Amino acid sequence: MRSDTIKRGFERAPHRSLLRATGQIKDESDFGKPFIAICNSYIDIIPGHAHLQEFGRVVKDAVRAAGGVPFEFNTIGVDDGIAMGHEGMRFSLPSRELIADCVETVIAAHCFDGMVCIPNCDKIVPGMLMGAARVNIPTIFVSGGPMAAGVDDEGNTSDLITVFEAVGKRAAGKMTDEQLLKLEQIACPTCGSCSGMFTANSMNCLCEALGIALPGNGTILAISPERHDLARRAAAQIMTLVEQNLRFRDVVTADAIDNAMALDVAMGGSTNTVLHVLALARESDLDYPVARFNEVSDRVPHLAKVSPAWDGPRQWHIQDVHAAGGVPAILAELAKKPGALKLGARTVMGVTLGESLEGVEIRNPECIRPASAPHSERGALSALFGNLAPEGGIIKVGAVEQHEMNFCGPARCFDSEESATNAVVNGQINPGDVIVVRYEGPRGGPGMREMLSLTSMVKGIPALSSTTALITDGRFSGGTRGLCIGHVSPEAAEGGPIGLIADGDVVTIDLGARTMTVAVSDEEMATRRAAWTAPAPKYRRGWLARYTRMVTNASNGAVLE
């Protein structure tokens, strides 16, 4: 066992003495058992994590019952919703790197034999995945689970995005303060990750398709007794993985990532998943370029429209997906389509992905459509390329209305999210405009802030909701819908074309062809580039100053070099 390094031999008497002092060594026989790290992300300020202290105890008890010695440690976390729209959002994406570093540090320093990761919200899941890829020991993920959707007196469902979009309606005079308060009070009724197909739930669902989590990981509600049962089964399974020495990278291969992205585009996951999967592939030493996402999307149909997308007059939430059969039902339906999945991929269940799907059926074909009647033949995420995004830009095409699939309009350029938001609030954006928000990428932001406040504001104004486009080198929340294209690379801060276009330049977006171009000649673009100067860093000291110097652009996963 790896842990023998710190517990075997007379030379390790001091180490054993310290281990006894932790209280986790109950008797001498514990020194002969596997040491299992419980990587928890409990933190009070995040509703998706506020219940994880108790949840962690369930996992610890189950590990001990299965014959291991559990040692729990915690990571930090940032709540994107609470950090949204102010300086705090600059720290959200960078927190992913700190979490990965924490996982690597604790596991490597203490020679653990296996690990159970308990993430839930946006950057915590990919941060733990990246750290697990680095240390490459037997690992299983079990998330804290999604919250229930809010329900008003008339039976209408709501979620966090409903509240953000209501702020736009309030700013436009379409909603009263009393109506907004009432919505605010019911939209997030329980602990758990936000109830739509936003980044947290997207990543937790993807863990199932990656093969690194048990069925139900992404969809069982946080408040359900099923969630504790899942935790106990995951904790017991880690002992089997240690015994078999089935390590993280044995499971997370290029085929597994293809499967994860197949699920992603089949259920319209967050655009942020692309960023995180690129980072995971890099940490796993896998060559996985942005263009490969389109290859997956070409062979995978869009089967489920989950909030923020609308399925006709209604909106589905994660709990509806679970009731319809969850991730296994979606994957089983994809398995019927030749080439959609790599069914031979290994999983932490000890069987292949294909074997795990035997006998699984959809329980509600309105929520999860059969492959024979998809929302579209092509998946719900796309990477766009062109002279405005030579290294790509990402859009959740599954949350775009049909009349928005082609768009052409003049650029309205803003060098920060705040200036763009002010223009929207003050009525300075016209129907037909392409709102360009730049210098918000990983380096330029820094931190590649999400722009849910801005996109929700636009969506809340009827005159602009479906008549404008928004492109940025920053990010969008998983709750963003409509013609919003993020991750544009190269970013403005490194001299990318998005930093060189000017007000009035005509931008053309063709989602069918997956192109995004600006009507500026190569010669003119070269002239503008020669006159361009890099902006001064916004931070001179502290974590974000270091992050600015080290971070790569979105096409490289915004990892540090």
CB 219, CB 146: distance < 8 Å: yes
What does R_g of the chain's alpha carbons equal in angstroms? 23
- Residue 394 identity (one-letter amino acid): I
Helices (H) then strands (E): counts for the chain: 22, 14
In the structure encoding, which two tokens stand for residue 80, read together? 């994107």
Nearest to 394 by CA among 207, 261, 255, 211: 261
d(CA 465, CA 169): 11
d(CA 201, CA 79): 14
Please state the separation of Cα 216 from the chain's center in Å.
Answer: 17
Residue 226 makes CB contacts below 8 A (sequence gap 6+) with 216, 220
In the structure encoding, which two tokens stand for residue 175, read together? 């909603």
| Given the residues 297, 477, 489, 555, the one annotated as active site | 477
Indicate the helix (H) or strand (E) that contains 232.
Answer: helix 225-244
β-pairing verdict for 515-518 and 506-510: antiparallel
Please state the separation of Cα 497 from the chain's center in Å.
Answer: 26
Residue 472 makes CB contacts below 8 A (sequence gap 6+) with 436, 437, 438, 440, 451, 485, 486, 488, 498
Nearest to 201 by CA among 160, 242, 243: 160
In the structure encoding, which two tokens stand for residue 368, read together? 């999860």
Nearest to 306 by CA among 261, 368, 365, 361: 368
d(CA 398, CA 211): 25
Sheet with 114-118: strands ordered across: 69-74, 35-40, 114-118, 139-141
d(CA 288, CA 278): 7
> Dihedrals φ, ψ of 135, to 5°?
-85, -25
SS (H, E, C) 244-269: HCCCHHHHCCHHHHHHHHHHHHHCCC
Catalytic status, residue 465 = no
- Residue 153 identity (one-letter amino acid): D
d(CA 220, CA 193): 11
d(CA 515, CA 296): 17
In the structure encoding, which two tokens stand for residue 192, read together? 């758990």
Residues designated as active site: 477
